Chains A and B, each alone.
Chain A
């Protein structure tokens, strides 16, 4: 009967679904508690061959400019001309987006920040890099290599791109005196209540933890990415208390720029590029690295484990780390270039000084985004730290 046929198809469909969800690409270990996890063994490219003719780049906005934002800002087209690799640039706005898109071969390279890089490494989404194929590897200052976010067990997983700090920005015409401490955004009695902006990402809890490092030292936080349950709860409490004084959260930097320009934000966390663009639009803003220090991002170009264009990928990594291109990117985005030879090529000769590009001591003051792990990043073995998946859950709860 047609009815039984209908039922049969329905049953088959449901069965297919159940079986299928049991199959599919199963990856990763299931024993989360047997000592420190190891990233999967993945091969790296041995020799650099001819370009494959195309490359898919997943980048932060501003990292791979091809002239569409501003016709004079373009270092992708020259790359295409020099290597014959036609570049398809896609912009990701959050680290979570980057994490989710990598590992399938959809993209060849990604400019990963620390809050996604470790996850990508452990999930086997990115392959180790063969540093002998990276022409500019030796020009990258040693203090940027082999960091907790771009290498595991001495194996390098990418080439550093550049770094910067999360800054405190404010509207100079509406906020005075000029702030110099993060208390400006955490103080619930702030005179600028309702006009403050915060970054929309679970990583922002590290900023809360950073503030607690100086205001509540008895909590014993040594690394804002290594928080045990008590420390984590304190950070979440601080961020929850902050919510009423915020105007909103931003994730795309153009939203932050718009907000500063139209006065929705008078104060907030921001990046240098936001300040630069707002200033270019004649908005009176300024920024500072507060005295408590700050979180920041040190981005690494990583190659997808299933990259269909590995040669072009290495060519891109070599291109983007050449001094001239590094200078362009660093000035456009407002960050310190990884390759310090770029300092000779910046239009503004004091760029590297402003961004402390060669200042190792300054670099060490910034808490670069890292992926919190259950095995505490600060080395503690007597407690378990809160892993990133719980940071995301806590953040969702906070935002609800």
Chain B
């Protein structure tokens, strides 16, 4: 039975408790404390760096000393926007990024569906592990493996396709698309898998009970629910493909992407390289702003 002697004494008003109480009361201090460090890092280190790189696009180059002349000018932008070759490069790069995204969805969605809804129990974990494992093989090695694979005469694809009379695609845009699809496929499968896993089976049962055939269920129930996850996956495949230059260098042959132009020019002409670099940045920012409303950013 509780007596007066059993009551617990009030905790001492130590410094720690006072601080804790203050923090509890003052939402503003808490928020400030949380945000200061990361914001300082992101803004001062990252955003400032990116901003100043893009600002360099407004400068020009002294042709003798190759030093950057810090007087504002729009000459670089004018040169890039009036030259059809750069429009072509942009178009090619966006085409590659879009193709890679579409292929990743085409292959990744069924795979994720299988893993989330058809596979049972332990095999699910095994499948996830199987999909994640290639991420640990070095990016460069995988691209070089593809370089060997796409050779028209003696590549692996040609070798496998010999009975069908298929030749390897050779170095070029097709090889770049294939390689990039290969590299980013896990980044598409995993978010979709996570989204599908969160979707209760009961919804699918209910749809079937209401008379829906599998394809109708898929179209009207699954896709709308998993749509944000798909978009989340596309953010990666799109942005990673947009800026890639190493893959294009290794398997692209004559094919060139925007990243290659930046890479070729950053040493000799930084303002010009910065101008080209603004193109994928603008594309990505627009894309992100557009997909924000789909809720994809919460599904990364």
Chain B residues, CB < 8 A from A373: 63-64
Q: Mark B229-256, 1 if CB is under 8 A from A, else 0.
A: 0000000000000000000000001101
Is B264 in contact with A392, judged by CB distance below 8 angstroms?
A: yes
Chain A residues, CB < 8 A from B32: 2, 5
Chain B: minimal CB distance from A180 (Å) = 27
Chain A residues, CB < 8 A from B151: 262, 264
Interfacial residues of chain A within 1-51, with CB under 8 A of chain B in the complex = 1-2, 5-6, 9-10, 12-14, 16-18, 20-22, 26-30, 32, 37
Q: How many residues of B contact A (CB 8 A)?
A: 48
Chain A residues, CB < 8 A from B265: 392-393, 396
Q: Mark A100-118, 1 if CB is under 8 A from B, else 0.
A: 1000000000000000000
Q: How far is the CA of A26 from the CA of B67 in the complex (A)?
A: 8
Is A374 in contact with B63, judged by CB distance below 8 angstroms?
A: yes
Indicate if A333 sits at the interface (CB-CB under 8 A): no
Q: How far is the CA of A397 from the CA of B52 in the complex (A)?
A: 25
Is A389 in contact with B269, judged by CB distance below 8 angstroms?
A: yes
Q: How far is the CA of A399 from the CA of B171 in the complex (A)?
A: 15
Chain A residues, CB < 8 A from B56: 21
Interfacial residues of chain A within 208-245, with CB under 8 A of chain B in the complex = 243
Chain A residues, CB < 8 A from B154: 262-263
Interfacial residues of chain B within 32-76, with CB under 8 A of chain A in the complex = 32, 35, 39-40, 43-44, 47-49, 51-52, 55-56, 61-67, 69-71
Is B55 in contact with A400, judged by CB distance below 8 angstroms?
A: no
* Residue in B51, B62, B83, B267 whose beta carbon sits within 8 Å of that of A28 in the complex: B62
Chain A: minimal CB distance from B246 (Å) = 12
Q: Mark A337-377, 1 if CB is under 8 A from B, else 0.
A: 00000000000000000000000000000000000011000
Is B66 in contact with A393, judged by CB distance below 8 angstroms?
A: no
A36 nearest in chain B by CB position: B64
B31 nearest in chain A by CB position: A2
Stretch at the interface among A119-127, A299-307, A317-325: A119-127
Chain B: minimal CB distance from A152 (Å) = 11
Q: How far is the CA of A86 from the CA of B51 in the complex (A)?
A: 39
Indicate if A395 sits at the interface (CB-CB under 8 A): yes
Indicate if A96 sits at the interface (CB-CB under 8 A): yes
* Residue in B52, B69, B86 whose beta carbon sits within 8 Å of that of A400 in the complex: B86
Indicate if A249 sits at the interface (CB-CB under 8 A): yes
Is A248 in contact with B253, judged by CB distance below 8 angstroms?
A: yes
Is A29 in contact with B86, judged by CB distance below 8 angstroms?
A: no
Q: How far is the CA of A174 from the CA of B267 in the complex (A)?
A: 39
Is A29 in contact with B52, judged by CB distance below 8 angstroms?
A: no
Chain B: minimal CB distance from A192 (Å) = 15
Indicate if A58 sits at the interface (CB-CB under 8 A): no
Is B261 in contact with A400, judged by CB distance below 8 angstroms?
A: yes
Interfacial residues of chain B within 18-41, with CB under 8 A of chain A in the complex = 28, 31-32, 35, 39-40
Interface centre among A5, A37, A123, A389 (most CB of B within 10 A): A389
Chain B residues, CB < 8 A from A399: 254, 256, 260-261, 264
Q: How far is the CA of A28 from the CA of B68 in the complex (A)?
A: 8
Chain A residues, CB < 8 A from B52: 17-18, 20-21
Indicate if B284 sits at the interface (CB-CB under 8 A): no
* Residue in A97, A99, A202, A374 whose beta carbon sits within 8 Å of that of B64 in the complex: A374
Q: Mark A252-293, 1 if CB is under 8 A from B, else 0.
A: 000000000011100000000000000000000000000000
* Residue in A20, A122, A397 whose beta carbon sits within 8 Å of that of B83 in the complex: A397
Indicate if A308 sits at the interface (CB-CB under 8 A): no
Chain B: minimal CB distance from A370 (Å) = 14
Chain A residues, CB < 8 A from B31: 2
Q: Mark A124-164, 1 if CB is under 8 A from B, else 0.
A: 10000000000000000000000000000000000000000
Chain B residues, CB < 8 A from A179: none
Indicate if B272 sits at the interface (CB-CB under 8 A): yes
Is B88 in contact with A400, judged by CB distance below 8 angstroms?
A: yes
Q: Is the interface of B mostly helix, strand, loop or mixed?
A: helix
Indicate if A76 sits at the interface (CB-CB under 8 A): no
Is A28 in contact with B269, judged by CB distance below 8 angstroms?
A: no
Is B47 in contact with A389, judged by CB distance below 8 angstroms?
A: no
Q: How far is the CA of A193 from the CA of B147 in the complex (A)?
A: 21
Chain A: minimal CB distance from B91 (Å) = 10
Q: How far is the CA of A32 from the CA of B89 in the complex (A)?
A: 31
Q: How far is the CA of A12 from the CA of B154 in the complex (A)?
A: 58
Is A96 in contact with B264, judged by CB distance below 8 angstroms?
A: yes
A198 nearest in chain B by CB position: B254
Indicate whether A123 sits within 8 Å of B70 (C-beta atoms), given known contacts A247-B253, A262-B154. no
* Residue in B35, B66, B79 whose beta carbon sits within 8 Å of that of A5 in the complex: B35
Indicate if A246 sits at the interface (CB-CB under 8 A): yes
Indicate if A388 sits at the interface (CB-CB under 8 A): yes
Can you list 23 A-B pairs, Cβ within 8 angstroms, ordered by A? A6-B35, A14-B47, A14-B48, A16-B48, A17-B49, A20-B48, A30-B69, A30-B71, A32-B63, A96-B267, A99-B268, A122-B65, A123-B66, A243-B254, A374-B64, A387-B64, A388-B268, A389-B66, A389-B268, A392-B265, A393-B265, A396-B261, A397-B85
Measuring CB to CB, which residues of chain A are less than 8 angstroms from any residue of chain B?
1-2, 5-6, 9-10, 12-14, 16-18, 20-22, 26-30, 32, 37, 96-97, 99-100, 119, 122-124, 202, 243, 246-249, 262-264, 373-374, 387-390, 392-393, 395-400
- Known contacts A97-B267, A392-B269, A399-B256; 16 further A-B pairs (Cβ under 8 A): A2-B31, A5-B35, A12-B43, A13-B44, A16-B48, A20-B48, A21-B70, A26-B67, A28-B62, A28-B69, A29-B65, A99-B66, A122-B65, A392-B268, A393-B265, A396-B85
